[in-house]
Amino acid sequence: MKRPLIAVLDYGIGNLHSAQKALEHEGADARLTADPGLIAGADGVVLPGVGAFGACLDALRGVGLERPAREAAESGRPFLGICVGMQMLFTKSEENEGAAGLDLIPGTVTWIPAGPKIPQMQWNRLDIVDPAEPMLAHLGAEPYVYFVHSLHGVPDDAAMVAATVEYGTTINAAFRRDNVFAVQFHPEKSSRPGLQLLRNFVDVCGNRP
């Protein structure tokens, strides 16, 4: 397998380097970049994010990366959204109701229902919906991953949900739409299961023709 080139979109929000370094650790040539040409030529693209939905989208658009992100997701190449990067792929969010998401996963990011402590800031066990999902392969029998969030994605098509967790109620934690995969948790902070997920992404990118 070739060492795939993976573009990690650099729009100045949060600790983007942690995702890049974790992907490098798992065998990728991972570049933190805002270069549309590099993004267009990459084997795979990652959109990380921390903070608020609207602020992250404003930052992405402010550095001219909305179109490259859309074109990458629509190109058929592997595309991974992480945490608020995942939320940005949805149509809209209750956190910032006037902000338009990228609409790559049709649906709404909604507040976690009242009951448990908000935000969820803990390790939690993934319940994998589709055992055949390649991004969730080899994570182990009870994969615990690390969450920090107050909202979760609710796609219009429930078949796009790839994994859930229990937190007072069932919370959606991972999503698949064609070549786009997205997770609410932080794989780069999730020890062996999270690094395995990133390894799976690297493998998918490296095995493209």
Catalytic residues: 83, 186, 188
Please tell me the distance from the alpha carbon of residue 1 to that of residue 94, in angstroms, as a whole number.
Answer: 42
Question: How many Å apart are CA 144 and CA 196, to the nearest integer?
Answer: 12
Among the listed residues 181, 191, 176, 188, the one whose alpha carbon sits nearest the alpha carbon of residue 139: 191
Judged by DSSP in three states, 22 sits in helix
φ, ψ (nearest 5 deg) of residue 3: -80, 105
| Residue 141: both structure tokens together | 């029998």
Distance separating alpha carbons of residues 112 and 101, to the nearest angstrom: 19
